[in-house]
Copies of this chain bind each other. A is one copy, B any other.
Amino acid sequence: MATANVRDVAALAGVSVGTVSNVLNQSKPVAPETAKRVQAAIDKLGFVRNDAARQLRVGQSRTVGIMVLDVSNPFFTDIARGVEDTLTDFNRSLILGNTGESAARELTYLDLFEEQRVAGLLITPVGDVLARLERLRERGSPVVLVDRHENARSFSSVSVDDYRGGQIAAEHLLDTGRTSLAFVGGTRAIVQVAQRAGGAQDAARERDARPVRVLELDSMRAEAGRLGVEQLLALPKAQRPDAVFAANDLIALGALQALTHAGVRVPDDIALIGYDDISFAANAAIPISSIRQPAWEMGRTATELLMAEIEKPGTTDYRHVVFQPELIVRESTAGP
């Protein structure tokens, strides 16, 4: 049973295909009486528009692509949810690609998105793909960068002030009476990590506190937190910090585990703060303080920037929205 097409609908309703299309897209006014007839025919035949044909004609898809670094990190899925929610407001849909931090996968997805002529693309680039993104834009798919703005003034972007986030975290720890801070995070090669660490270090310096000890690890996942804490606990007592600032919440969770395992009390012996404010931080055995990044709102704003470019192509007025991080205080940083 070949599925019904507009022609069948038109025939049954006794109108032309053009009219059916007008009913479908409300592109031109159509008499309520005929509209009703057409609708009846559609229902009767179970007609469903063939999107490929539509797309071919129109030259562009109604779906937007998003490429995230790691779907198993709730921070990114929260962003994606913001995007998805916003997109449904615009009556468009989302196709999600997970790069898993792999430049190869990223290229594969770019190929796919280009073949699909996606209406637009949201991306946190991992490889060196700026040229590729320019091409995509030239061909009618605008691009907005998420959480990466360095050297990319030629694209709109949303990001968070990571330096400020680092400051806030360190200030909070110092405010609550801690004196010796450690930063546990992934490699400084990641801009975000470097910024957060830098903010914390400067804050400590400004308060004439002891310098922040920075532990660089090569992962942004829980094991990094475990490893980091083990290193800290191996230090001579005098050098042991009384507060740990984790580069993200996954690391903080790992840190909490290692501390608990070692019998170190949180927050009594050591305070702990994370970054991102994922739900698992709030739901940890000891609720973990965190620097909240407005993930959902970032997704929404990125989508709005993108839609603006989609609906008014050719603009070169690229906007860069920088969100401010927010301190969320929980039990893990209660005063000593």
Is the C-beta of A90 less than 8 angstroms from some C-beta in chain B?
A: no
A260→B111 CA distance, assembly (Å): 49
Given A48-B114, A71-B77, do A257 and B284 touch, yes or no (CB 8 Å)?
yes
Interface size class of A (residues with CB under 8 A): 35 or more
A55→B51 CA distance, assembly (Å): 9
Q: Are A48 and B115 in contact (CB under 8 A)?
A: yes
Q: Are B285 and A286 in contact (CB under 8 A)?
A: yes
Contacts of A284-322 to chain B: CB distance below 8 A: 284-287
Query: How many copies are assembled?
Result: 2
Is the C-beta of A246 less than 8 angstroms from some C-beta in chain B?
A: no
Q: Are A72 and B1 in contact (CB under 8 A)?
A: no
Q: How far is the CB of A248 from chain B (nearest CB, A)?
A: 13
A76→B108 CA distance, assembly (Å): 23
Q: Are A72 and B78 in contact (CB under 8 A)?
A: yes
CB < 8 Å: which of B52, B72, B286 contacts A77? Answer: B72
A283→B253 CA distance, assembly (Å): 7
Is the C-beta of A74 less than 8 angstroms from some C-beta in chain B?
A: yes
A108→B88 CA distance, assembly (Å): 9
Q: How far is the CB of A70 from chain B (nearest CB, A)?
A: 10
Q: Are B285 and A260 in contact (CB under 8 A)?
A: yes
Q: Are A72 and B279 in contact (CB under 8 A)?
A: yes
Selected interface stretch from A91-99, A146-154, A177-185, A208-216: A91-99
Is the C-beta of A256 less than 8 angstroms from some C-beta in chain B?
A: yes
- B interface footprint on A247-279 (CB within 8 Å = 1, 0 otherwise): 000100110110010000000000000000001
A residues sitting closer than 8 Å to B (CB atoms) are 1, 3, 46, 48-53, 55-56, 61, 63, 71-72, 74, 77-78, 80-81, 84, 88, 93-98, 108-109, 111-112, 114-117, 135, 138-140, 222, 250, 253-254, 256-257, 260, 279-280, 282-287
